[in-house]
Amino acid sequence: MRSAPLTARQTLMWLDHRLYPAAPYHNLVLTVELEGALDVDRMERAFAALVAENDSLRVAVREDDVGARLEVADEHAIRLEHVDLSAASESRADWLRQRCTRMLDLSQTSGDAALVRLSPTRHLLYFCQHHIACDGSSLVEICDQLGARYSGRPVVAGPSLLEYAGVEAEYRHSQRATRATAFWAETVARGVPPFALYGTARTSTAVGTRRAAIDLDAATLAAFSARAQQAPFLLATPELSHLTLLLTAFFAWIQRVTGHSRIAIGVPVRNRPARFRKTLGLLMEQPFVIVDVDPGDTIASLADKTRKALFDALRHAQHTLSDRGVFYATMNLHPWVEPDFDGLHAQVEIGPAPARAENVTGAAGDLRETLGLLVFDQLTAGRLDLALELHADTFPEALQERARHHLCAVIRAIATGNYAPGSLRTPIDAIELMDEPERTALLEAGRGRMAPIAPDLIERIRERAQQAPAATALVGESGSLTYAELAVRTNQLARHLHSLGVGPEVRVGLYLTRGLDEPLAMLGVLAAGGAYVPIDPTHPPERVALALQDSSPTVLLTTGRLAGRLDVPAGVRVVDLDQEWARIRRLDGSSPAVEFRPDQLAYVMFTSGSTGRPKGIAVARQALSNLLQSMAHEPGFAAADRLLALTTMTFDIAGLEMFLPLWAGGSLQIGSRETALDPLVLRRTLERNPITVLQATPTTWRLLVESGWAGTSGLRMFCGGEALAPELARALVTRGAELWNLYGPTEATIWSTAKRLEPGFERVTIGRAIDRTQTYVLDGAHRLVPQGVVGELYIGGDGLARGYLAARGADAERFATIPLGAGAERVYRTGDLARVLPDGDIECLGRSDHQVKVRGVRIELGEIESVLRSAPGVQDAVVVARATAGEASRLVAYWVGTPEVDPAVVQERARQRLPEAMQPGAWMRLDAFPLNTNGKIDRAALPEPADPGLASTGVRSRALHELSNHEARVAAIWRDLLGRRDIGTDDDFFESGGDSLLAVGLRARLRKEFGVELPLTAIFEGPTVARMTKALERQDGLLDRPVAIELRRSESGPPLFCLLGLALYQPLANALRADCSVYGVHVPFSLDRESLTPQLVPLLAARYVDTIRETRPHGPYHIGGLCFGGVLAHEVTRQLLEAGEVVESLSLFDAMLPRAQHRLHAKQLLHLCRRVVQEPQNVQVWLEGWSTRFASRARLRAGSLGFLHDLFLGRQSATPAELRVLSPEAEMAAKSYDRLARPVQTSTLLFRATNRDFPPWLDIAPDYGWSSLTHKFSTHDVSGGHVEIMQEPHVQAIARVLDDVFRRPRAAGQPPQPEADLARLGMRGPESAETEEDSNPLAQRAVRRGANRV
Amino acid sequence: MDARQLVREFVMTNFYVPDSLALADTSSLLATGIVDSTGMLEVIAFLEETFSVTVNENEMVPGNLDSIENITHFVARKSG
């Protein structure tokens, strides 16, 4: 029997086979139809000869400890079965479909074959083999060789597959392989972000792609194909030239429909050196061709890049899989191109009957793929034949059709024109993908209702005042106004302003405090024909000065308290309403004769500009009234409605709050400043007033929800100004009548789109354009992007502002006139990324200017934020890229969530949904986000992440000593496989040097260690020690056996066995310098009825002795243990000595026998009383601090076995209680051991932790009870707590002492001198009088530590 | 052995050349099916190792590589 290890590619196939045990998509199937009278015997002989001559047809996969091997043996031969369908009801197609989707048992054979009789003159030869031992070229060879054998023609068979395996193994050590490895490492290091065509995401793992021919006329295809014969596509052979051509088309298309610039396409290549051209087996490779499509790239320049990238990939193809990164890339397959499948359509003659091979892909489709893209480049008969395969579950039929159209458009663009190189200068981003109907449909979807042009706001309110003069218009703290009163007041103020020169285009600054003055002032200015400019009294003076400078108001409306604060520019008339209202009220209350034109300036709103100077946005009256008319229609506002206005006047959405109620004849209640700021006040206001509409930012809504607001029946909730998290939307949607998500930039007047979110909504969108408004999602070249593709959101229509008052820098470019639809249109570029969903709704994906580059990868922060927001319990998230000195920028994720959210869950979500490059490098959970005055998150004010330990992965790897025993065993296997010592719980196997081959070995070792089969998916999906252990622990029958794990290896010197812990002792093993191996030993142990005997410690120790002697049959040994492990160590030492072994030293790490504790009841009471008198305020805390201790002491004192017995029987139903250090069970066991312990004749070292809080009434013997039970006893104090002493840096002190002991020649074995150690003792008080033990000089000093601590 | 002979020997020993075919120096290696896409890469690896030249992707055109004659001239140009 011969065998060979799997090649890298075979390993991948095998892993896939195991990862998806129910998916037969690696079945390669060949059918050959045989017409005429077939000589069945002859065919059978031909097949048998074929199998006999080619070892790849006689293989099975054998798993062993280090992975898997391909084993050649006659019993694994593929057999030819005879099937007769001539009389069967089953159709040939049904039979085929059923047959080729069968899972092959690779441990038996690699394939199956059948000769199917369809009729006396028609047969079908069916051949199926797993990809692990077959590829496309092999199928062609099989056809060829079988035909030749049947016809008696000479047969040229290739060298055997095992021979190729040998050559490949040799190649792995060649210089070329080294270069190839370096090439792929570099390629992978560049990183390729995964993408989703048309914004699709895989929704199911079902197998199946739909394949459809590309619908192009013959002339276009011919012209396209002919391109391959010229530069820049020309590359060595016609096949490679065609591949360059096709890849260029694919890159262009994928770039356009994903927006990604870096794209990788896997290209299967035959990879058959001439010698092995006829060898049957898996030889194909799939190198990756990676190209950056940059802005400005033309077809020609892209072809250049593609050709170069393809050539590089091919040169290194034979070593594609040696790099784990490529392995990963293969696991998340990128779109691929199939260039070399022409063979399957070759005409093959077998015997007298002409036959045709066909490629049966009943199991077509790779379920790992989000995108299944295949191009069949069938150069047969000189004709190019293209088909596109798309995953059926991911791409709806309509989308598949659009996708094909778009690819056709790219192909046409490449094909058209003459063959002169000049015609290939078309920029990639200028290729028009969409046809007219598709464009029209998109434009239509983005167009809001064509409502009639809205009347002027002031005229509308006057109308209302005439219709219902007594209706309540305004409600404020100081009273309310009817519509009639409002009209009179407005007119009076307008007349006054008019007398001051206010008219069309004249600006009036509003510098007011919260109250009825605000709406009155705004309306008064508008009624005078002028434009108001809100100025925020809370803003710093410099900013106010800039606003005044840019808006150059003629009049400034303010109130007495504020007037003095402002440095008013010369020439501005200041009207102090506090003083002047009385005079104004005496003016004529009828409407002044003022003309309102639609394009007349209504207001100027200042927002932060990209230059750092606030910019004034000038909005016309028509834009304002259009918004109001649209919003009154939908979401709707009735005369019976009352809106509570919260938003500060300087935020443009306040315009809706001020005017929408008045526009609709309803009432407006001005919320106080406190109402806006304090959610509790807001909640009370909602409870006590008949409010039916409330508009606020998500942040305010969240505060309201958190204040305990249960909801207000009938309330219509308008939410906008920031991204609305699904979590918040879900909380809100049931708390009122309607929830509306509103979206719009100030530059397009308050809101541009609206979406009502109904209960049970699937995702939060911003809906569709409001009246007389048009949305466009465009690419960088101002072209519409297809549905689903991410582009930038542009807005056009009546809502557009007139522009900026004093446009500076880039701001000026935000308004542009671009050709769209029928003609040119003026649009505003929002800077928001968006895509159009199938139902026409727009999904907003965050700011495009939050796009950053981290490690060279372009990243949309908005995308990361939406993923984090989608985690359950996360209320909001902000991601920023922070550049630290001398370092590449890293992503910091800030989030706010409900208290029960586990941060690990949020991080897990990010790991699941985002590519590596988009993983935040640091995480900060905040109680709330810092806000700016508009109630939006102030990104600049986010705190700097403080903990550099979080920098690398965001998850703090648990320290070595914190590993659970299972984790320690997993880590030990990693350590062996990877040759590394410092394995953290959250290290990634593949980033720590693991690759696919090692993963195979890992799985085998895990099986051996734990006795359970871990699904391979678990290794790939959870490639960390922690997650692998979790996966193991989920398996039934996990093997818990006694283990001794090597923590440190040394060739000579007696080993140190540390008991009752594995990883616990890793820091000690690392810190030691002496020549000695270190083992952690753990014996699983369940406390049950039988084990609870006074003999517990000796019994358990006997099992430890067995485990130690299995590892090292004979001494000399060093033995040690922490806490109860030390007690065990004592008994283990005794038993080893009894068995005639030599134990050179016994180390007791803070291990204490109960006999060392002496309780002083009087002191206990006295101490308590003193505390109560001295520090009454601390007593409660103090008592609480001790209460847990009392509880455990109580258990100890009540420590009859019966008590524990019940305790454990109760617990046992859940998990068997294990004896661990620190457990009360261990203390119990120690107590029973105390009575029967016998002395040992071994040098003993006691390491005491100095930082232990013993109750003040407990006196502790300094020898911890050991001196009479040991020989050459010495005591060493180590700073740190009970368990801390085994950790860095404290463990160094222990290691230094042990180094001395271990290095000393055995004959002269002496413990360190006690005197030397006395100096290091950190004792606090010499109250030696109360000592019980005095057999050791050291014991003269009682240890009274921690007595004064709280 | 001169370059032409080295190239011929490489082609004859590494690729399957049917006995029936009298391979002329000017015969197309692609049209006769002797060298395919993978073979072309083997040829390049051979040239780079034997003649210490570096072939870049712009030179990977039939004019340079499609016959023993073309290859010989190409090597001469690269080395000279």
Which backbone phi and psi does A113 adopt, to 5 degrees? -145, 155
Q: What letters, b where the CB count within 10 A reaches 16 and e where it falls short, cover A454-488?
A: bbbbbebbbebbeeeeebbbbbbeeebbbbbbbbb
The pLDDT of residue B71 is 95
The CA distance from B1 to the nearest CA of chain A, in Å, is 23
Q: Which residue of A has its CA nearest to B17?
A: A274
Question: What percent of chain A shows pLDDT beyond 70?
Answer: 76
As a whole number, mean pLDDT of residues A1262-1277 equals 90
Cross-chain residue pair A269–B45, CB shorter than 8 Å: no
Q: A670 phi and psi, to 5 degrees?
A: -85, 115
Whether the pLDDT of residue A23 is over 80: the answer is no
Average pLDDT of chain A to the nearest whole number: 78
Higher-confidence residue: A1049 or B21? A1049
Which of A235, A237, A317 is opposite residue B30, by nearest beta carbon? A237
CA–CA distance, A17 with A485 (Å, rounded to integer): 81
Contact criterion met (CB < 8 Å) for B60 and A311? yes
Three-class DSSP category at A165: helix
Cβ pair A421, A592 in contact under 8 A: no
Q: Which residues of A touch B70 (CB under 8 A)?
A: none
Higher pLDDT, A13 or A1261: A1261
DSSP A609-625: -TTSS-EEEEEEHHHHH
* Per-residue pLDDT, A1086: 61
Mean pLDDT calculated for residue range A1210-1232: 50
pLDDT digits (tens, 9 = 90+) for B13-48: 888 887 777 789 999 998 888 888 888 888 998 999
Choose among A235, A270, A311: nearest Cβ to B38.
A270
Please list every residue in chain A whose beta carbon sits closer than 8 Å to the beta carbon of residue B39: 273-274
Inform me whether the pLDDT recorded for A769 exceeds 70.
Answer: yes
Q: What are phi and psi of A97, to 5 degrees?
A: -60, -45
Kindly report which listed range (A293-307, A346-360, A1110-1124, A1261-1275) carries the lowest average pLDDT score: A346-360
Counting other chains too, the contacts that A1290-1296 makes at CB distance below 8 Å and 24 or more residues apart are A1291/A1067, A1291/A1068, A1291/A1071, A1292/A1071, A1294/A1068, A1294/A1071, A1294/A1147, A1294/A1149, A1294/A1247, A1295/A1068, A1295/A1071, A1295/A1072, A1295/A1073
Give, in order, the Cα–Cα distances in Å from A81 to each of A48, A690, A1139, A1158.
12, 83, 66, 85
Residues of A with Cβ-Cβ distance to B71 under 8 angstroms: none
Asked if the model's pLDDT at residue A178 lies above 90, the reply is no
CA A938/CA A943 separation, integer angstroms: 11
A433 pLDDT exceeds 50? Answer: yes
Percent of chain B with pLDDT over 90: 45
B→A interface, C-beta within 8 Å: 14-16, 30, 35-42, 44-45, 56-57, 60-62, 65
Q: What is the mean pLDDT of residues A749-764?
A: 95
Q: How confident is the model at residue A859 (pLDDT cuts 50, 70, 90)?
A: low
Residue of B14, B15, B61 lying closest to A236 (CB–CB):
B61
**For residue A710, is pLDDT > 80?**
yes
H/E stretch holding A1127 reads helix A1124-1138
Q: Do B40 and A236 touch (CB under 8 A)?
A: yes
pLDDT at A1237 over 60: yes
Banded pLDDT at A1334 (limits 50, 70, 90): very low
Q: Could you tell me the pLDDT band of residue A271, with boundaries at 50, 70 and 90?
A: confident
The predicted structure's pLDDT at residue A524: 97
User: Is B16 within 8 Å of A239 when comparing Cβ atoms?
Assistant: no
Q: Is A488 helix (H, G, I), strand (E, B) or coil?
A: helix
**The predicted structure's pLDDT at residue A526:** 98
Asked whether residue A1224 carries a pLDDT value surpassing 90, the answer given is: no
**Pair of tokens at residue A680:** 């509790």
Strand, coil or helix: what is A1331? coil
- For residue A819, say if its preceding peptide bond is cis, omega within 30 degrees of 0: no
Q: pLDDT, tens digit, for every residue of A1128-1168?
A: 999 999 999 999 999 999 999 988 888 887 766 555 555 55
Q: Which of A237, A308, A312 sits opposite B37 (nearest CB)?
A: A237
The predicted structure's pLDDT at residue A385: 65
Q: For residue A599, what pLDDT is reported?
A: 96
Whether B37 and A308 lie within 8 Å, measured CB to CB: no
From the number of C-beta atoms within 10 Å of its C-beta (0-12, 13-18, 19+), residue A861 rates as: buried
Amino acid sitting at position A96 = L
* Predicted local distance difference test score (pLDDT) of residue A718: 98
Distance between CA atoms of residues A212 and A208, nearest Å: 13
Is residue A1323 scored above 80 in pLDDT? no
The one-character DSSP state at A887 is: S
Cα separation, B72 vs B70, in Å, equals 5
Neighbours of A316 (CB within 10 A): 23
Distance between B15 CA and the closest CA of chain A, angstroms: 5
Please name the residues in contact with A562: beta carbons below 8 A apart, sequence gap of 6 or more: A511, A512, A513, A537
Q: Which two tokens stand for residue A1092?
A: 């609870």
Q: What confidence category does residue A358 fall into, taking pLDDT thresholds of 50, 70 and 90?
A: very low
Q: Which of A401-405, A415-419, A471-475 has the highest mean pLDDT?
A: A471-475
Residues in chain A whose Cβ is within 8 Å of chain B: 156, 176, 234-240, 269-275, 277, 307-308, 310-312, 314-315, 317
- Flag the least confident range among A79-83, A295-299, A911-915: A911-915
How sure is the predictor about A617, in pLDDT bands with cuts at 50, 70 and 90? very high
Establish whether this prediction's ipTM goes over 0.90.
yes
Average pLDDT over residues A984-993: 75
The pLDDT value recorded for residue A175 is: 83
A721 and A697 Cβ atoms separated by less than 8 Å: yes
Q: Is omega for the bond preceding A1116 within 30 degrees of 0, making it cis?
A: yes
Task: Please tell me which residue of chain B has the smallest CA distance to A158.
Answer: B16
8 A C-beta contact, residue A1244 and residue A1270: yes
The predicted pLDDT at position A1186 comes to 38
pLDDT of residue A20: 63
- Mutation target to probe the A interface, by most A beta carbons within 10 A, among B14, B19, B41 is B41
Most confident range (mean pLDDT) of A379-383, A942-946, A1229-1233 is A1229-1233
pLDDT tens-digit series, residues A189-233 = 666 665 667 876 554 444 455 666 677 888 888 888 888 888 899
Q: Do B57 and A308 touch (CB under 8 A)?
A: yes
- Distance separating alpha carbons of residues A1158 and A1330, to the nearest angstrom: 9
Task: Give A872: exposed, middle or buried? Use CB within 10 Å, 0-12, 13-18, 19+.
Answer: middle
Q: What is the pLDDT of residues A824-853, one digit of tens each?
A: 899 999 988 899 998 999 999 877 765 565
DSSP calls for B3-69:
HHHHHHHHHHHHS---TT----TTS-TTTTTSS-HHHHHHHHHHHHHHH-----GGG-SHHHHSSHH
pLDDT band of A153, cuts 50, 70, 90: confident
Grade residue A528 by pLDDT with cuts at 50, 70 and 90: very high
| CA distance to partner chain B, nearest, from residue A315 (Å) | 7
Count of Cβ atoms closer than 10 Å to residue A145 Cβ: 22
Of A278, A280, A339, give the one whose Cα is nearest residue A132: A280
A531 or A426, which is more confident: A531
pLDDT at A886: 37
Would you say the C-alpha torsion A975, A979, A982, A985 has a positive or negative sign? negative
Q: Is A277's CB within 8 Å of B16's CB?
A: yes
Q: A567 pLDDT band (50/70/90 cuts)?
A: confident
Identify all chain B residues contacting A239, using CB atoms and an 8 Å cutoff. Answer: 36-37
Confidence (pLDDT) at A1159:
66
Per the CB < 8 A criterion, the answer to whether A7 and A167 are in contact is no
Does this model's pTM top 0.90? Answer: no
CA–CA–CA angle A728, A733, A734 (5° rounding): 115
DSSP A427: B
Q: Are B37 and A277 inside 8 Å of each other by CB?
A: no
Does residue A592 surpass a pLDDT of 60?
A: yes
Pick from A236, A275, A314: CB nearest B65: A236
Whether the per-residue pLDDT at A941 is higher than 70: the answer is: yes
Which residue of A lies nearest to B34 if distances are taken between CA atoms? Answer: A274
- Rounded mean pLDDT of A686-715? 92
**Residue bearing tokens 């404020």:** A476
Q: Is the distance from CB of A180 to CB of A316 less than 8 angstroms?
A: yes
Mutate to test the interface with A, among B20, B36, B38, B58 (most CBs of A within 10 A): B38
Q: Choose from A229-238, A672-681, A733-742 the range with maximum mean pLDDT.
A: A733-742
Per-residue confidence band for A65, with pLDDT thresholds at 50, 70 and 90 = low
Looking at the DSSP assignment, which residues form a beta bridge with residue A790?
none
**Nearest Cβ partner of B37 from A239, A275, A307?**
A239
**Predicted pLDDT at A1284:** 83
CB contact under 8 A, A311 and B57: yes
Q: What is the pLDDT of residue A1193?
A: 35
Question: Which residues, 6+ apart, have CB-to-CB distance to B21 below 8 Å?
Answer: B27, B32, B34
- Residue A743's nearest CA partner among A772, A727, A764, A722 is A722
Answer yes or no: is pLDDT of A1218 > 60.
no
The two structure tokens encoding residue A259: 């927006």
Question: Can you give the three-state secondary structure of A522-591, one letter per residue?
Answer: HHHHHHCCCEEEECCCCCCHHHHHHHHHHHCCCEEEECHHHHCCCCCCCCCEEEEHHHHHHHHCCCCCCC
Burial of A63 (0-12, 13-18, 19+ CB in 10 A): middle
Mean pLDDT is lowest, of A472-486, A913-927, A1091-1105, A1197-1211, for A1197-1211
